[in-house]
A and B are shown apart, each in its own frame.
Chain A
Amino acid sequence: MSSTFEAEVIAVMEQNKAGEDIHKASLSDAEKAEIEREFAHYEDKASVGLEALRIVQKHRGWVSDESLRAVSAYLDIPVAQLESVATYFQLIFRQPVGREVILLCKSASCWIMGCAHLQKKIQEKLRIKPGEITADGLFTLLETPCLGDCDNAPVMMINGEMHRHLTEATVDEILDNKIKTHRAKGSCHAGPDTD
């Protein structure tokens, strides 16, 4: 499957590593430009709240309190209103996540096809529970509702890319490949954390 999205996210995250004050309280010009492009699509500015949060998250990896305040000031909507949107959606991250966000489908068809074993495998291998982040900052595991790929169950999505017909062995392989790629790029320290 296409992984345009993954490439985009990795590129942005590499960039994130460089800037320390990425979660600063004002929006960058690039962020503003992207948000402004959305204005034309809606009747009022307040309606782009979710789009703006997603854009900011794309640039910063997750949405900190400072980032939330920056968006709220820029769109001129109350922080509480924006927060009520931000906390509503599982794909808006209000706390740091790993470079690779694993969305493991836990819904009916994947459950019938054995996703519980996969979850156990992932949790043991990465030593995290759902919602947590590995010590090396590489992975976050999230349980997710049906990914609309039930005829290929069990499935998971990692940074926008689907992985289908999973077994414990293929999950192992996929995660190992991710770890290898990131280590080669030096985007995480080598260590026992995700072995």
Chain B
Amino acid sequence: MPDQTLTKPLTKNICPQHKPPDIERYQDNGGYSGWRKALGMAPEDIVELVQKSGLRGRGGAGFNTGLKWSFVPRGKGSPAVKYLVCNADEMEPGTFKDRLLMEQNPHLLIEGMAIAAYAIEARTAYIFIRGEYHLAAVRLEQAINEARQAGLIGPDILNSGYSLEIYLHRSAGNYICGEETALLNALEGRRAIPRAKPPFPQVSGLWGKPTVVNNVETLCNIPHLIELGSEWYKSLGRCQDAGSKLFGVSGKVNKPGTWELPMGTPIREIIEEHAGGMRDGLKLKGFLPGGGSTDFLGPTDLDLPMDYDAIAKAGSRMGTGTIIVLDDHTCPVGLVLNLSQFFARESCGWCTPCRDGLPWVVEILTRIENGSGTPEDLDLLQEQVARMGPGNTFCALAPGAAEPLQSALRLFEEDFIDHIRKGRCPYR
């Protein structure tokens, strides 16, 4: 009997002390019943159900998943070859949620991918996993093999006439591959530079074929959503956003970690209850709500619910939902410098504001951090922020890099000025 009272669909099988469930244990626990149900449904009904449920992409942008799927040309007269790609590149600083799902419950992802592929009529799917995730890759390969042996993927699945192959592609360490069109170039064996949009991948993606790229966590939401329905799914959220979400906290809190919680859980609850609050003697100075490419928020924002629109209204993004906490003993200029170094290094070099602007930002911030900055440097930084803003570059890496910088300049202005006035980093 499907359990309508389920509140933690993503992690119900996860117990860190145990090995991840193999296919037998996974199925004993109700696994693959979403997939069995989906196989009896028409693809367009699945797309509609997912769209109605309000599931939004967990890769950072928060786009309605069903709506994304609906852009794929389907049915009679549509291209015969289509692809589903699972984005498991997870390299955004401070993000550690997809690894948990893949290592601890690999079958959930395989099941979600099977349903998604069926819904968009794809017969080949790829998991694009970052090269450093060895354990996750090994466990996923094993899960793929088990599912294939059980006839749950492969040719003519459960006599339905539908066939699906899932392949694992190991990348080799490159943040920009997480950008979906760069990822497609990487899969095609090319240098992973983002592509111009339009055309969007749903129409012309991998090898020019209609392709959907979804995040690991997004796909892990699908099996229970199909099994238990969109009303159940909506009821999981504590706000207008549907479902549950993996939230994480890192930084100097007592119990850093990841928890599956209702969408819309207040940030204060996540940091103070689940992460155990700040370490002794430290105060929260600010935080990045959803990974390294989101705007800083401050202590007055702690009562915001973690939902896409509320965080956007406050001037940031929920991004990946993994919070990085900045304490009052850590230098905000140093942290922004660290983030900028990351983005400068990971820039693909295609557009000028990103390729040339980011190293410049690093140079200026280094100067300020080392005590030789000038007040004019702050204007220079503002100028760079404007140049890297949305619309000036080929992909969202540069605008993402600008977010922590622009918000730090505003929220921690005093700290920047203090560095310049004192001629040294006051935190050292």
Q: Which residues of A contact B (CB under 8 A)?
A: 1-2, 4-5, 41-44, 46-51, 53-54, 77, 81, 84-85, 88-92, 103, 106-109, 111-113, 144-153, 157, 160
**B-chain residues with CB within 8 Å of residue A108 when the two chains form the complex:** 93-94, 288, 292, 324, 335, 338-339, 342
**B-chain residues with CB within 8 Å of residue A145 when the two chains form the complex:** 91, 93, 173, 175, 342, 345-346
Residue in B94, B190, B256 whose beta carbon sits within 8 Å of that of A107 in the complex: B94
What is the CB-to-nearest-CB distance from B94 to chain A, in angstroms, rounded to a whole number? 5
Q: How many Å lie between the Cα of A2 and that of B334 in the bound state?
A: 34
Contact status A151-B249, CB under 8 Å:
yes
Contact status A149-B138, CB under 8 Å:
no
Give chain B interface residues in 238-253, CB to chain A under 8 Å. Answer: 248-252
Q: A4-B138, A41-B167, A109-B324 are in contact. Are A146 and B92 (CB under 8 A)?
A: yes
Residue in A84, A90, A112, A146 whose beta carbon sits within 8 Å of that of B172 in the complex: A90
Q: How many Å lie between the Cα of A14 and that of B335 in the bound state?
A: 41
Contact status A91-B188, CB under 8 Å:
no
What is the CB-to-nearest-CB distance from B95 to chain A, in angstroms, rounded to a whole number? 7
With CB as the reference atom, state the residue of chain A lying closest to B334: A111
**A-chain residues with CB within 8 Å of residue B251 when the two chains form the complex:** 109, 112-113
Instruction: Please classify the interface of chain B as helix (H, G, I), strand (E, B), loop, or mixed, using the class held by over half of its residues.
Output: mixed
Q: How many Å lie between the Cα of A134 and that of B219 in the bound state?
A: 43
**A-chain residues with CB within 8 Å of residue B172 when the two chains form the complex:** 50, 53-54, 89-92
Segment from B46-54, B127-135, B228-236, B264-272 that makes contact with A: B127-135
Identify the 3 closest CB pairs spanning chains A and B, nearest first: A89-B172, A150-B250, A151-B256
**B-chain residues with CB within 8 Å of residue A54 when the two chains form the complex:** 131, 170, 172
Residue in A2, A51, A89, A150 whose beta carbon sits within 8 Å of that of B96 in the complex: A150
Q: Mark B274-294, 1 if CB is under 8 A from A, else 0.
A: 000000000000001000100
Contact status A85-B248, CB under 8 Å:
no
13 extra A-B contacts, CB within 8 A, seeds A85-B189, A145-B346, A152-B256: A43-B207, A54-B170, A89-B131, A89-B171, A89-B172, A90-B172, A106-B338, A107-B342, A108-B339, A145-B345, A146-B95, A147-B132, A151-B258
Q: How many Å lie between the Cα of A58 and that of B103 in the bound state?
A: 23
Q: How many Å lie between the Cα of A15 and that of B63 in the bound state?
A: 49
With CB as the reference atom, state the residue of chain A lying closest to B337: A111
Contact status B335-A111, CB under 8 Å:
yes
Q: Which residues of B contact A (CB under 8 A)?
A: 90-96, 98-99, 130-135, 138, 167, 169-175, 186-192, 207, 248-252, 256-258, 288, 292, 322, 324-327, 330, 334-335, 338-339, 341-342, 345-346
What is the CB-to-nearest-CB distance from B256 to chain A, in angstroms, rounded to a whole number? 4
Contact status A113-B252, CB under 8 Å:
yes
Contact status B170-A157, CB under 8 Å:
no
Q: How many Å lie between the Cα of A47 and that of B188 in the bound state?
A: 5
With CB as the reference atom, state the residue of chain A lying closest to B99: A148
Contact status A84-B134, CB under 8 Å:
no
A selection of 8 A-B contacts at a CB cut-off of 8 Å is: A5-B138, A50-B171, A50-B186, A51-B169, A84-B191, A146-B91, A150-B96, A151-B257
Contact status B335-A91, CB under 8 Å:
no
Q: How many Å lie between the Cα of A90 and that of B94 in the bound state?
A: 19
Q: How many Å lie between the Cα of A50 and that of B177 in the bound state?
A: 13
Q: How many Å lie between the Cα of A48 and that of B186 in the bound state?
A: 10
Residue in A88, A106, A111, A152 whose beta carbon sits within 8 Å of that of B192 in the complex: A88
Q: How many Å lie between the Cα of A151 and that of B97 in the bound state?
A: 10
Q: How many Å lie between the Cα of A111 and that of B346 in the bound state?
A: 17
Q: How many Å lie between the Cα of A152 and that of B191 in the bound state?
A: 32
What is the CB-to-nearest-CB distance from A10 to chain B, in angstroms, rounded to a whole number? 14
Q: How many Å lie between the Cα of A160 and that of B134 in the bound state?
A: 6
